[in-house]
Amino acid sequence: MVELTYANGALTARLYGEIDHHIAPKLRSEIDMKCESVRPAKLVLDFSGVSFMDSSGIGLIMGRYRCISLLGGRMEIVNIPPTLKKIITLSGIGSLGVMK
């Protein structure tokens, strides 16, 4: 599940529950549609409500990074639970400078 809010040029996607290959396409679609319509300067992915994530979550992050970059914006990943931080760090996403 995702809750999208837009304020001051930033689109925040608060993610909830589990992110796996069943859920990731729906999340991707919702976030991308909103990005296309508001063209934010910044996309914030808030992982505070995520309890589980597999490699589909990594794909979700990388795809949103590419999408917002093509729109001329930047991305931040915030409130990463300790259980997910290791997965995200090992994926190399940390080298993009988006983890806050």
Q: Where are the domains of the chain?
A: 2-96
Angle at 77 between CA 46 and CA 53, to 5 degrees: 70
Q: What is the pTM of this model?
A: 0.93
Pull the structure tokens for residue 52: 């589980």
DSSP-derived letter for residue 99 is B
- Pair 65, 96: CB distance under 8 Å: yes
Least confident of 32-36, 44-48, 90-94: 90-94
What pLDDT shows up at residue 92? 87
Distance CA 47, CA 74 (A): 17
Q: Does residue 95 have a pLDDT over 90?
A: no
13 beta partners: 4, 45
Between 90 and 58, residue with greater pLDDT: 58
Distance CA 72, CA 42 (A): 9
46 beta partners: 14, 78
| Best CATH choice for the domain 2-96 from the list 3.40.50.1110, 3.30.750.24, 1.10.10.1100, 3.40.30.10 | 3.30.750.24
Dihedral angle of Cα 29, 93, 76, 20, to the nearest 10 degrees: 40
- Pair 44, 10: CB distance under 8 Å: yes
